[in-house]
Chain A
Amino acid sequence: MDLRQIQALHAQYSAQPVVIDISGHAAAMPTLPAPERKSGRGFGSTNIPAKLRKAARPALICVATAAIAAGGGVSAAKLWRVLRDKPAAVHVTDKPRAAAAEPPAIGESAIDVAPAHPLTASDFGQPPATASALARVDPRSLSGNVQRPSPAADRTAEIPTDPTLARAAVSSIHPHASASGQAAGTPTSVQPVVAAPAPIQATSHTPTDAQQPAAPVAPPPSPVHAASSVEQSPKPALRPIRHVTAHHAVMPATETSTPAGAATQPATPPKAPAAKGGDVQLF
């Protein structure tokens, strides 16, 4: 390739930059209005009718929709009134019957309501001595154990025996003290139930004494000791109750095994639970 061919080749690919004549293109399109002129002029009178024309159809549509909705609402309201008046009439007819049926119910409820002031002995005109005696009784003792005798009987049995027992009876933990006192003091009526802790303690400490007949002979829970222990701390008073329940669970088996004859039997069966359970460890 000589120089001329090379020069011709390069001339063939010589750069020819593309120039976009924007002003010439704009001049070639005279139909397009200038944007600045339009923005400067036409915000006044010419645009408002056009806007109104444009907004006419949507406004008509909105008005028609609102009218339809209003008509529907009015008709719905009328229907609602009609439907509402009919049940109201039914209720009006039913109300007198209900009113006639209600007064006895109100009277019953008035009877059932508890009195504002609890009834006392003074309301019934009884002598004050009996009222004070009843005031000493703890209501929990009345509702506690059904198998126990009445607290009045206990008090008659306890008061003459010891002044400490009398103090314990006056105190708030009277029922527990009386329960422990019954184990030693009144064996006649409560013997199978309340005397149970005594044999347990006796057998746990001295097995030779366990062969003796159970309740009346058992010396360890003397009334004075029981009352003093109850006065010192209220917690031990709950433990004999647990023993009573445990003994109840055991007693039927022993009674079925030995029907009536053996007097030494009641002392031996508590030996097994005393060895097994943790009841003895509580003492």
Chain B
Amino acid sequence: MKAQSLNVTLLSPGVTIHGDMILDHGLSTFAIIDGSLVSSAGLLHVGPGGMVKGQVEGEHVRIDGTVEGDVHARGILEINGRVKGNVFYCGTIRLGPRASLEGQIKRKASELTIENAASNVQQLSRAAFSNVV
């Protein structure tokens, strides 16, 4: 197993973004985002003072700020802030003392991803590369 280096994106307070953000790693935002946040891996963290007006979808989701939209979590979901929308989770959910929910909580079936061996991945990548060339 490879030792993955920690890769995190940080949005500091005082930043406003209009549009969707799609990431393949973790994110911590203290900014105001008018759009959806989608993260395929890592932690998607909406820090205190941060605000998202749209859908939040990630592997692990922790919300300490405010989200006005649906929240999807494939793994762990921790809410210690305010959510105006429905919450969907596959693994575990944890609600903090400052959690405020205005919507429904639904559990979905877990989506397991089985990673192939490294050799197979390399072969697939080579085949794809040869097809492209």
Residues of chain A touching chain B, judged by Cβ–Cβ distance below 8 Å, are 1, 3, 6-7, 9-15, 17, 19-20
Does B119 reach chain A (CB closer than 8 Å)? Answer: no
Contact with A along B64-89 (1 / 0, CB 8 A): 00000000000110000000000000
Given A10-B28, A10-B42, A14-B42: A20 in contact with B4 (beta carbons within 8 A): no
Chain A residue at smallest Cβ distance from B78: A13
The answer on a CB contact under 8 Å between B43 and A20 is: no
Checking A1, A3, A12, A15 against B59 with a beta-carbon cut-off of 8 angstroms, the contacting residue is: A15
Alpha-carbon separation in the docked complex, A14 to B6 (Å): 7
18 A-B contacts (beta carbon < 8 Å): A1-B28, A3-B10, A6-B8, A6-B45, A6-B47, A7-B6, A9-B43, A10-B6, A10-B42, A12-B43, A13-B42, A13-B59, A13-B60, A13-B76, A15-B41, A15-B42, A17-B1, A19-B115
The answer on a CB contact under 8 Å between A6 and B10 is: yes
Q: Closest 3 CB pairs between A and B?
A: A13-B43, A13-B60, A10-B26
Given A9-B62, A15-B59, A17-B115: A1 in contact with B47 (beta carbons within 8 A): yes
Q: Which of A3, A17, A20 has the most CB of B within 10 A?
A: A17
Contact with A along B1-43 (1 / 0, CB 8 A): 1001010101000000000000000101000000000000111
Q: Which of A1, A9, A10, A19 has the most CB of B within 10 A?
A: A10
With contacts A10-B6, A13-B43 known, what are 13 further pairs, Cβ within 8 A? A1-B47, A6-B47, A9-B28, A9-B43, A10-B28, A10-B42, A11-B6, A13-B42, A13-B59, A13-B76, A14-B26, A14-B43, A15-B41
Minimum distance in angstroms from B92 CB to a CB of chain A: 12
By secondary structure, the B interface counts as loop
Minimum distance in angstroms from A110 CB to a CB of chain B: 97
Minimum distance in angstroms from B102 CB to a CB of chain A: 25
Residues of chain B touching chain A, judged by Cβ–Cβ distance below 8 Å, are 1, 4, 6, 8, 10, 26, 28, 41-43, 45, 47-48, 59-60, 62, 75-76, 114-115
Minimum distance in angstroms from B98 CB to a CB of chain A: 15
Alpha-carbon separation in the docked complex, A251 to B42 (Å): 122
Alpha-carbon separation in the docked complex, A6 to B64 (Å): 13
The answer on a CB contact under 8 Å between A13 and B26 is: yes
The answer on a CB contact under 8 Å between B115 and A10 is: no
Minimum distance in angstroms from A156 CB to a CB of chain B: 118
The answer on a CB contact under 8 Å between A19 and B42 is: no
Complex contacts, B48 vs chain A, CB 8 Å: 1
Checking A1, A12, A15 against B4 with a beta-carbon cut-off of 8 angstroms, the contacting residue is: A15
Complex contacts, B1 vs chain A, CB 8 Å: 17, 19
Complex contacts, A20 vs chain B, CB 8 Å: 114
Minimum distance in angstroms from B36 CB to a CB of chain A: 20
Q: Which of A3, A7, A15, A19 has the most CB of B within 10 A?
A: A15
Chain B residue at smallest Cβ distance from A12: B43
Given A14-B4, A15-B4, A15-B59: A9 in contact with B114 (beta carbons within 8 A): no
